[in-house]
Every structure is written in C-alpha cells, then in structure tokens.
Structure 1
C-alpha cells in the first residue's frame, strides 16, 4: 500500500515538473503565470525631446523579454518617465522630464520583482 502512495506522489511530481518545463519553453522564464504586460507607452519624437534628464539603471534578475517588458512597464507607469530596457546589457535607459529620486526608481523596479545593482 505504501508503495502505491509513494508511486502516486512521485508521478504527481513528474507531471507538474514536465508541465512547468513546457510552460517555460512556450512563454519564457515567467511561464505565462504573471499577469499580462500592459502595452508600452508610446512617445512620439516631439515629446521625447521634453525628457531632458537621463539615468542608466543596472538591473538584476531579468532573464527574458517578458522580464524586460515588466521592468519597462513599471518604469513607464511613473509620471514624467520614459524608459527603454536593454535585456542583453541588463540595464534600463531612463529619461525624465523632472529629476526623480533613486528611491522612487528603485521602488518601482523592486515592486515589479527585480533588483537594482546601481544607477548612473
């Protein structure tokens, strides 16, 4: 009897592991379980010139395009901020209309589930 119970538990673990692996293959590291990303904020070229202040944020924890979208959307949700994330370099180029404190920028990224190495 104990053998059947143990076999059933092992079988469930295998099924859930294979399912998780397939989701990662289809959707990236986030597995599609995170809520849908919001659409990117569109900025036309004329508006972009209004964003005079620039900072570079080096970020840890991004592993796929979906991660980069989450960070970019988190930063772009702040007022007077336009951000573009470079996944290969693990950084975000942030342009602002007004200077924002590093704590606000870090807080937005931390809330999205990622951490900041440092800000230039």
Structure 2
C-alpha cells in the first residue's frame, strides 16, 4: 500500500513538471531563443536579390545558433544593414554575406551581437 502511494506521488510530480514545460514551450518561453527575454529582430526583406549587384562577398562563422529561429534572427539582423544580403546556413554555422559596398566587419559583429549571437574569428 505504501509503495503504491509513493509511486503515485512520483508520477504526480513528473506530470506537474511535464505540464509546466509544455506550457512554457507552447507560450514561447521554453525555446532556445524565444520567450519574453529574447530580443526580437525585425523581419527584414531584401528587395535586390540579384547577386550581380553585390560585388563584395564574405563568409562569416556565427556562434550561438541552435535552431532555425536562431539562424533567421541572424539573417534578419544582417539583412538590416544597408546594402547587404545575407543567407545563413544553420548546419554550417555560417553566414554568406553579400554587399554593395566594402563590408565593415565591426558593423557585422555589432549587429550579430545585438541579435544575441557572436562572430567566430578564423
């Protein structure tokens, strides 16, 4: 009888923790980069997607990305720089950055940092 009560208590505790996690996940607070504390990055649409118009290109290694939302946040942040078109590869932890003017790497680092990630020096 006591063993049954103990098992029921353990199961009840597990259900409470699972329910809390589910609520946090579905409300956006439980993901790696979501929630109320995460900085929201404005969705940026690049008008000019003709690579011929971007004479400068560089690849930038990005640290701290763990999911598609992370890579989208980095891509949006980089695309917010005037004259820049960036595409981020989550698997490679890399951003391919095209620009119409010579690229200011300090600006790139600042924008990536403001989005919550970091540039890895090679």
The answer as to whether partners of 1:53 and 1:98 remain within 8 angstroms in 2 is yes
What are structure 1's unaligned runs of at least 5 residues?
1-13
Q: CA RMSD in A?
A: 3.2
| Equivalent pair of 1:24/1:30 in contact (CA under 8 Å) | no
**Which residue in the other structure is 2:97 paired with?**
94
Equivalent in the alignment of 1:79: 82
Unmatched runs of 5 consecutive residues or more in structure 2: 1-16
TM-score by length of 1: 0.71
8 Å CA contact 2:46–2:85 kept in 1: the answer is no
SS at match of 1:57: strand
Structure 1 residue 70 corresponds to structure 2 residue 73: yes
Rounded to whole Å, the distance in 1 between the matches of 2:27 and 2:89 is 21
| CA gap 1:20/1:88 in 2 versus in 1, 3 angstroms | farther
* C-alpha distance 27-82 of structure 1, shift in aligned 2 (>3 A): farther
8 Å contact from structure 1 (residues 109, 115) kept in 2:
yes
User: Which residue number in structure 1 is paired with residue 7 of structure 2?
Assistant: none
Is the contact made by 2:44 and 2:77 (CA closer than 8 Å) also made in structure 1? no
Give the whole-Å Cα distance in 1 for the aligned partners of 2:18 and 2:97: 43
CA contact (8 A) 1:75 1:81 kept: yes
Answer whether contact 1:80 1:98 (CA < 8 A) is retained.
yes
Name the SS of the counterpart of 1:49 in structure 2.
helix
For residues 21-40 of structure 1, what are the structure 2 equivalents within 5 Å? 22-23=25-26, 28-33=31-36, 34=38, 37-40=41-44
